[in-house]
Amino acid sequence: MASNEFQALQGMSDIHAPEIYLWHMIEERARQLFSCYGYEELRTPSLEKLSIFKRSIGDTTDVVQKEMYAFEDRGGRELALRPEGTAGTIRHLAGRGEEGQNARVFYISPMFRCERPQAGRKRQFHQVGVEDTGEPNPLADAECIALQQQLLEAWGLTGSKIQINSRGTKEDQKLISDNLRQLLDEHRGDLCDDCQRRMDENVLRVIDCKNEKCKAIAATLPEMRSFMTQESQDYLDTVIETLGQMGVEVEYDRNLVRGLDYYVHTVWEITHGALGAQNAIAGGGRYEIALGKKAIPGVGFAMGIERVITSLEACGVTAGQFAPKGGLWLVSLGDEALAANMQLARELRGKGLRCGMELAAKSMKAQMRKANRAGAEKVIIRGEDEIAKGTAIVKDMEDGSQEEMGLDDVLRIA
Ligand code: HAM
């Protein structure tokens, strides 16, 4: 049997203490801020019909073509583990009729992409995301980006950069694609294999290809926005101006396209210098997705929690800062005290206090060691004598002082 038979799958990690405390901080602060903006939580299933992703993300995208965990279930139904959260969210909102056309929802969920494993690329990763549905409105796009920036601040993350561009409307995109295809035709042979395929299927993606040769060719092309209607260009300008008025700094990136087909108008990405090649901590944009009778317009973003954590750690934010500490530790000298402490611990925990104890009357030294490790603020020591008198010795772990007091007083100061 292979030695890794019972290990977790490659690209999928167990998340445990102390790192889990960073996750809790990230999730709690996100929930708090989302509530200030009027977003409500949505939890959709991890598994959806494959057609939902094909239809919304796009048949020719890398996510759909190369990265999905797609399979047939026992009934021959084509399913896929969600590679992102927008498609499932819109599937849900489409089922809610008019209400779904004007909703604000957020999610904190695992996503799955069967990518080639490398630093920053997981096969199960987690996104904190929002979707705000409603007719295109540059102020909604600006507010969405501002929310994201405020979230980074709430997490204590500094040094990130927001890049923004526009893909225009669907009509603009057709015009942009036709023009690009014409202009790129003479360079076809110099493009990478992926881009040669993209020329026919998804020519916009040639513009943000990371291959050096493709980049050099893309740099010779006119800006995408030059093929858009004035209205679409004004839309992008309003988003950028509004953000400027709100004090949110963004950088216009003429080559930012994003890899999902549902986008129209504004697209953006947030990067952080602490990350390597996979330097995007977040991506977002305005979209239009048709999964019901009526297409749903909206705007949203998703931030990759694993990448946020790597960036936070590079900024000196550590999990230990958020680990629970303090509280009480009960030390039992003898079996009688042990039995009495079982009852006392139950009472203290019932009051919402963090309270630990050893479940065997071990030596005082061993029990104190445990109290120290748990970061207890105070230790309550009881033996036969204290039980008989109805008292306890309370030791302050910070200054080492100790005093004997009545049990009622112990409960009062706890
Ligand atoms: P995305 O750019 O594909 O956008 O993913 C958003 C973020 O998820 C990325 O910036 C990255 O931080 C994280 N991420 C993606 N793939 C991986 C991976 N393999 N390992 C670790 N982290 C990863 C979306 O998913 C869109 N649904 C965002 C959106 C919401 N647009 C509108 N609404």
Output the residue whose Cα is nearest ligand 1's atom 30: 301
- What is the distance in A from the centroid of ligand 1 to the CA of 228? 26
pLDDT of 414 above 90: no
Domain final position from 320, 354, 376: 320
Residue for token pair 């839309």: 235
In a domain, residue 38? The reply is yes
What are the tens digits of pLDDT across the range 214-270? 999 999 999 999 999 999 999 999 999 999 999 999 999 999 999 999 999 999 999
Residue-level pLDDT at 2: 53
CATH number, residue 345: 3.40.50.800
In a domain, residue 98? The reply is yes
SS3 content of the chain, % helix, strand, coil (to 5): 45, 25, 35
- What is the distance in A from the centroid of ligand 1 to the CA of 284? 8
Domain extent for 357:
324-413
Pocket-testing residue among 147, 260, 269, ligand 1, by greatest number of atoms within 8 A of Cβ: 260
Distance from C-alpha of 409 to C-alpha of 227, rounded to nearest angstrom: 77
Is 133 in contact with 139 (CB distance < 8 Å)? no
Domain final position from 291, 320, 349: 320
What are the tens digits of pLDDT across the range 350-376? 999 999 999 999 999 999 999 999 999
Output the residue whose Cα is nearest ligand 1's atom 11: 304
In a domain, residue 215? The reply is no
Provide the residue count of the chain: 414
Exposed e or buried b for every residue in 275-301, given b needs 16+ CB within 10 A?
beebbbbbbbbbbbbebeeebbbbbbb
- What is the distance in A from the centroid of ligand 1 to the CA of 5? 30
In a domain, residue 210? The reply is no
Which of ligand 1's atoms lies nearest the C-alpha of 307? 12
In a domain, residue 206? The reply is no
- What is the distance in A from the centroid of ligand 1 to the CA of 311? 15
As a whole number of Å, the end-to-end CA separation of the chain is 54
Residue-level pLDDT at 413: 82
Pocket-testing residue among 10, 48, 68, 111, ligand 1, by greatest number of atoms within 8 A of Cβ: 111
Distance from C-alpha of 70 to C-alpha of 143, rounded to nearest angstrom: 35
Which of ligand 1's atoms lies nearest the C-alpha of 121? 20
Burial class (CB in 10 A: 0-12, 13-18, 19+), 38: exposed
Output the residue whose Cα is nearest ligand 1's atom 14: 304
Q: How far is CA 136 from CA 58, 151, 341, in A?
A: 21, 23, 63
Q: Which residues contact 25 (CB under 8 A, 6 or more apart)?
A: 155, 322
Which of ligand 1's atoms lies nearest the C-alpha of 131? 33
Output the residue whose Cα is nearest ligand 1's atom 4: 283
What are the tens digits of pLDDT across the range 55-89? 999 999 999 999 999 999 999 999 999 999 999 99
- Same domain (yes/no): 154, 130: yes
Q: Tally the C-alpha atoms within 13 A of residue 47's C-alpha that lie toward its C-beta.
A: 7
- What is the distance in A from the centroid of ligand 1 to the CA of 276? 16
What confidence tier does 334 reach under pLDDT thresholds 50, 70, 90? very high
- What is the distance in A from the centroid of ligand 1 to the CA of 83? 9
Burial class (CB in 10 A: 0-12, 13-18, 19+), 221: middle
Is 0.85 topped by the overall pTM?
yes
What confidence tier does 293 reach under pLDDT thresholds 50, 70, 90? confident
- Same domain (yes/no): 141, 234: yes
Output the residue whose Cα is nearest ligand 1's atom 31: 284
Distance from C-alpha of 332 to C-alpha of 364, rounded to nearest angstrom: 8
Torsion over CA: 81, 83, 89, 90 (sign): negative
Which of ligand 1's atoms lies nearest the C-alpha of 270? 10
Which of ligand 1's atoms lies nearest the C-alpha of 67? 19
What confidence tier does 132 reach under pLDDT thresholds 50, 70, 90? very high
Residue-level pLDDT at 322: 96
Peptide bond just before 18 cis, omega within 30 deg:
yes
Distance from C-alpha of 234 to C-alpha of 13, rounded to nearest angstrom: 44
- What is the distance in A from the centroid of ligand 1 to the CA of 73? 26
- Same domain (yes/no): 404, 354: yes
In a domain, residue 189? The reply is no
Element (H, E) at 71: strand 70-72
Q: Which residues have C-beta atoms less than 6 Å from ligand 1?
A: 84-86, 113, 115, 121-122, 125, 127, 129, 131, 260, 280-285, 287, 300-302, 304, 306-307
Is 155 in contact with 136 (CB distance < 8 Å)? no
Q: Tally the C-alpha atoms within 13 A of residue 315's C-alpha that lie toward its C-beta.
A: 18
Neighbours of 41 (CB within 10 A): 11
Residue-level pLDDT at 210: 87
- Same domain (yes/no): 285, 331: no
Element (H, E) at 370: helix 364-373
Residue for token pair 């047939």: 72
Domains held by the chain: number? 2
- Same domain (yes/no): 280, 408: no
- What is the distance in A from the centroid of ligand 1 to the CA of 80? 17
- Same domain (yes/no): 256, 328: no
- Same domain (yes/no): 266, 383: no
- Same domain (yes/no): 61, 155: yes
Domain final position from 302, 320, 338: 320
When pLDDT is averaged across residues 317-325 and rounded to a whole number, the result is 93
In a domain, residue 36? The reply is yes
- Same domain (yes/no): 374, 251: no
Pocket-testing residue among 10, 112, 125, 312, ligand 1, by greatest number of atoms within 8 A of Cβ: 125
- Same domain (yes/no): 12, 60: yes
CATH number, residue 44: 3.30.930.10
- Same domain (yes/no): 306, 328: no
pLDDT of 1 above 80: no
- Same domain (yes/no): 36, 147: yes
In a domain, residue 292? The reply is yes
Which of ligand 1's atoms lies nearest the C-alpha of 113? 19
Residue-level pLDDT at 208: 87
Output the residue whose Cα is nearest ligand 1's atom 15: 304
Residue for token pair 């930012």: 256
